[in-house]
A and B are shown apart, each in its own frame.
Chain A
Amino acid sequence: MLGINLVWAVALLYIALLFMVAYYADLRQKAGRSITANPVVYSLSIAVYATTWTYYGSVGKAATTGLDFLPIYLGPTLTAFSWWFLLKKIVRISKENNITSIADFISSRYGRSQWLGAIITVITLMGIMPYIALQLRAVSTSFTIITGYHDFHLGILEYFHLPSPHPGFFSALLLALFSVLFGARHLVSAERHEGMVAAIALESIVKLAAMLIVGGFITYGLYDGMGDLFARLHERDPALLTRLTTLGGSGDNSYSSMFSLLTLSMSAVMLLPRQFQVMVLENAREEHLNSAAWRFPAYMFLMNLFVMPIAVAGILMTGSSAGADYFVLTLPIRAGHPWLALVAFLGGFSASAGMVMVESIAVSTMLLNHVLMPAVVKITPRNWFPVLLINLKRFGIILVILLGYLYQGMVGESYLLANMGLISFSAAVQFAPALIGGLYWRRGNKAGAIAGLLLGFAVWSYTLLFPSLMQAGHWHSDILTVGPWGLALLKPQALFGLTGLDPWTHALFWSMFLNISAYLSLSIICNQGEKEQEQATRFVKVFAPESESPQWETKRLSKPVTIVQFVNLMSKFIGEQQASAAISDYLGDREIDGKGGVSEFELPSLKRFVEKTLAGSLGGAAAGAVVESFLSDIGSKMESVYDIFSTVRTSRDQSREALFVRLRASEIMNRSLRLDIIMEDLLALLLREFKLDLCVIRLLNDQGVLQVRSFKGEGGERITAEDRILEVDTHVGEAFLGRRTEFFNDTTYIVKPIAKEIFQREGIKSFAHVPISSEGSPPVGILSVFSRSIVGLFTEQFVELLESLAGQLAQAVRIVSEREAREGERRQKEAAQLENARVTRDLELAKQIQLSLLPESAPQLAGVRIACRCTPATHVGGDYYDFFQRGNDQLDLVMADVSGHSVGAALIMVETRSVLRAQMQTTMSTRETLRVLNELLYDDLTRAELFITMFCCTYDGAHRTLSYANAGHTRPLLFRAGSWRELDADGLILGVKQEVLFEEKSVQLESGDLLFLYTDGIIEAENAERELFGEERLCAIVSGMLEGEPESVIDRIMAEVAAFCCPAPLQDDISMVVMKLL
Chain B
Amino acid sequence: MTNSWTDIKNTDLIIVMGGNAAEAHPCGFKWVVEAKAQRGAKLIVVDPRFTRTASVSDFYAPIRQGTDIAFLLGVIRYCIENDRIQHDYVRAFTNAPYLVKEGFAYQDGLFTGYDEAKRDYDRSTWEYELGADGYVQVDETLQNPRCVYQLLKQHVAAYTPEMVERICGTPKDKYLAICKMISECSARDKTMTSMYALGWTQHSKGAQNIRTMAMLQLMLGNIGVRGGGMNALRGHSNIQGLTDIGLMSDLIPGYLNIPKDREVDFKTYMSTRGFKPLRPNQMSYWQNYGKFMVSFLKAMWGPAATAENEFAYQWLPKLDVSGYDLLRIMDLMHQGKVNGYFCQGFNPLLSAPNRNKITESLSKLKFLVVMDPLQTETARFWKDEGVHNDVKPESIQTEVFELPTSCFAEDEGSLVNSGRWLQWHWPGQEPPGEAKADTWIMAQLHMRLRELYRKEGGAFPDPIVNLHWPYRDPMDPQPDEMAKEMNGYVVSTVTDPADPSKVLLEKGKQVDTFGQLRDDGSTACGCWIYSGSWTERGNMMARRDTSDPGNTGAYSNWAFSWPANRRILYNRASADLDGKAWDPKRKLIEWNGTAWTGYDVPDIAVNAKPRDVGPFIMNAEGSGRLFARGLMRDGPFPAHYEPFESPVANVMAPNIRGNPVARIFPADLAALGTSDKFPYAATSYRLTEHFHYWTKHVWVNAVLQPEFFVEISEQLAAEKNIQKGGWVKVSSNRGSVYAKAVVTKRIKPLICDGKTVHVVGIPLHWGFTGAARKGFGPNSLTPFVGDANTDTPEFKAFLVNVEPSNGPATS
Q: Do the two shown chains form a genuine complex with each other?
A: no
Q: Which residues of A contact B (CB under 8 A)?
A: none
Q: Which residues of B contact A (CB under 8 A)?
A: none
